[in-house]
Amino acid sequence: MAAKTPAEPSTQIPDRPQIYLITPPTFALEVFPAELAKVLDAVDVACIRLALASRDEDAIGRAADACRQIAHERDVAVVIEDHLKLVERHGLDGIHLSDAARSVRAARKELGADAIVGAWCGASQHAGMSAGEAGADYVCFGPVGDTALGTATRAERDLFAWWSEVIEVPVVAEGALSPALVTDLAPVTDFFAIGPEIWGEKDPAAALRALIAGIG
């Protein structure tokens, strides 16, 4: 399995996990880019995932262009969730796939070796390994906390500990993160994917700083 971070090559977990920011599923173009810029200026972010609920390609494209401009001005990579055809069209850095390993090979073939290809693998060690073997640059496990719906299997700390010791592909902890979980998982993950935890707050940048305070 090749080892890469969402932004650049790496072969080991950094001393301090990096932040992988997830956008809200919907946002106002008149407001969100400025809010995103404030967060990026306040906290060092490695990558942004456009995780938009819309299926309107024009609306998604406008949102992608606005976020890409803000992110690339700050040397932050941008991936989009599942919309493979929009990656090159809008100058994005790669794709985040929500179907574990199933689309990784096709995405890699379509986008080439230099693009970022990441995969959501739930709490499945097997799915993560399959995604890595198929060419994923990172895998996301989660949720790591209890969600409001309570229907998803939690990705436990043991999974991250095993992965960080055995597998070179970078791992991302995602879903219902709390300050306590961030502190607990910091030694065994490469990235924290954070989005819903902060965007509903009055000051998302301050909320993000508070959430990750335990990792220094």
Q: What is the pLDDT of residues 63-118, one digit of tens each?
A: 999 999 999 999 999 999 999 999 999 999 999 999 999 999 999 999 999 999 99
Cβ within 8 Å of residue 114, ≥6 positions away:
none
Phi, psi of 81 (to 5 degrees): -80, 110
* Tens-digit pLDDT profile for residues 143-152: 999 886 566 8
Could you state, in order of their start, the residue ranges of all structural domains in the chain?
A: 18-209
Question: Which string of DSSP letters, residue by residue, matches 108-132?
Answer: HHHH-TTSEEEEE-TT-HHHHHHHH
Average pLDDT, the chain: 92
Select the CATH number that applies to the domain covering 18-209 from these four: 3.20.20.70, 1.10.10.1400, 3.40.50.1360, 3.40.630.10. 3.20.20.70
From first CA to last CA, the distance across the chain in angstroms is 30
* Tens-digit pLDDT profile for residues 155-179: 999 999 999 999 999 999 999 999 9
Counting residues of the chain whose pLDDT is more than 90, the rounded percentage is: 88
DSSP E strands in the chain: the ranges are 18-22, 45-50, 77-81, 94-97, 116-120, 138-141, 171-174, 191-194
